[in-house]
């Protein structure tokens, strides 16, 4: 699958372009030139990329669990190793085994940790940020308390990040299911160095086991 080979180079480019650094090498993906007609909003470019990755992830996760859900490609993709063809096909990003699924999750987590759009200063409104987070399948939470979908408190005194995500997966998902509510599993995103919140991402109806044991930076 080589998910990391497909996702990490693009994440590096997105991070540099969000910082206003021109960056491209022969061995990595290349974004369009920084001209108004071709390259207008590096922030939205990041959202487009992670949204496409999220849609692919849901498709893989839910099919592996024998569950189907409506998945659509929201954005047209602009990333490719061939600048003459501005369309990165995520169809090659697949996972048929447990090891491939874990590799995909590591690649996605590393990509988010390399560049998370909301860690950048910019003129984006709260509704825009909420909309983009929904598209990318991410959310933030700083609470030490975990509640179920029906408002029941499942645990308190949790540390935001890995511990809170672990409690979500082991307590909330099965509790909600017992109430006939299907809740997606999640994985933590490392807190951005200049960020204000702890971030998490949905992984669909399939859990990524063992995320606390990996170095995701």
pLDDT digits (tens, 9 = 90+) for 197-216: 889 999 999 887 765 544 44
CA-closest candidate to residue 203, choices 107, 88, 79, 91: 107
pLDDT given at position 9: 79
Q: What is the pTM of this model?
A: 0.80
Which pLDDT score is estimated for 178? 97
What is the C-alpha to C-alpha distance for residues 102 and 117, in angstroms, rounded to an integer? 24
pLDDT tens digits, one per residue of 106-120: 889 989 988 887 776
Unique residue bearing structure tokens 């090498």: 25
Residue with the two structure tokens 């995701």:
216
pLDDT digit string, tens, across residues 169-180: 999 999 999 999
CA-only gyration radius of the chain, Å: 17
Asked if the model's pLDDT at residue 135 lies above 80, the reply is: yes
Rounded-to-integer distance, Cα 68 and Cα 78, Å: 27
């Amino acid at each position: 699958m080589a998910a990391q080979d497909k996702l990490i180079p693009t994440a590096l480019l997105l991070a540099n372009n969000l910082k206003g650094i021109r960056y491209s090498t022969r061995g990595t993906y290349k974004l369009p030139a920084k001209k108004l007609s071709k390259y207008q909003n590096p922030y939205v470019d990041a959202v487009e990329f992670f949204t496409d990755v999220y849609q692919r992830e849901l498709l893989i996760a839910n099919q592996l669990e024998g569950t189907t859900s409506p998945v659509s490609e929201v954005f047209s993709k602009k990333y490719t190793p061939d600048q003459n063809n501005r369309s990165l096909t995520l169809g090659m990003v697949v996972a048929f085994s447990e090891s491939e699924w874990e590799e995909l999750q590591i690649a996605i987590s590393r990509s988010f940790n390399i560049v998370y759009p909301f860690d950048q200063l910019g003129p984006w409104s709260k509704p825009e940020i909420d909309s983009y987070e929904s598209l990318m399948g991410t959310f933030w939470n700083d609470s030490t308390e975990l509640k179920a979908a029906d408002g029941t408190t499942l645990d308190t005194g949790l540390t935001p990040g890995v511990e809170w995500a672990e409690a979500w997966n082991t307590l909330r998902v099965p509790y909600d299911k017992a109430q006939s509510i299907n809740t997606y599993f999640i994985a933590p995103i490392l807190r951005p160095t200049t960020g204000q919140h702890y971030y998490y991402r949905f992984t669909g109806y399939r859990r990524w086991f063992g995320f606390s044991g990996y170095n995701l930076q």
